[in-house]
Amino acid sequence: MACKRGALIVLEGVDKAGKTTQCKKLVQALQQSGRPAEMMRFPDRTTTIGQLISAYLEKKSDLEDHTVHLLFSANRWELVPQMRKKLEQGITLVVDRYAFSGVAFTSAKQGFCLDWCMKPDVGLPKPDLVIFLQLSPAEATLRGQFGEERYGTSVFQRAVQQRFEQLMKEPSVNWQVIRLSEH
Q: Which residues bind to ligand NYM, rule: CB under 6 A?
A: 15, 42-43, 57, 72, 97, 101-102, 105, 151
Given the complex with ligand NYM, which of 82 and 89 has the nearer CB atom? 82
Given the complex with ligand NYM, which of 49 and 91 has the nearer CB atom? 49
Q: What's the closest the beta carbon of residue 45 comes to ligand NYM, in angstroms?
A: 7
Given the complex with ligand NYM, which of 37 and 108 has the nearer CB atom? 108
Q: What's the closest the beta carbon of residue 92 comes to ligand NYM, in angstroms?
A: 20
- Measured CA to CA, the distance from residue 15 to residue 108 in angstroms comes to 14
Given the complex with ligand NYM, which of 10 and 30 has the nearer CB atom? 10
Are the C-beta atoms of residues 76 and 121 closer than 8 Å to each other? yes
Q: What's the closest the beta carbon of residue 43 comes to ligand NYM, in angstroms?
A: 5
For ligand NYM, the nearest residue by Cβ is 102
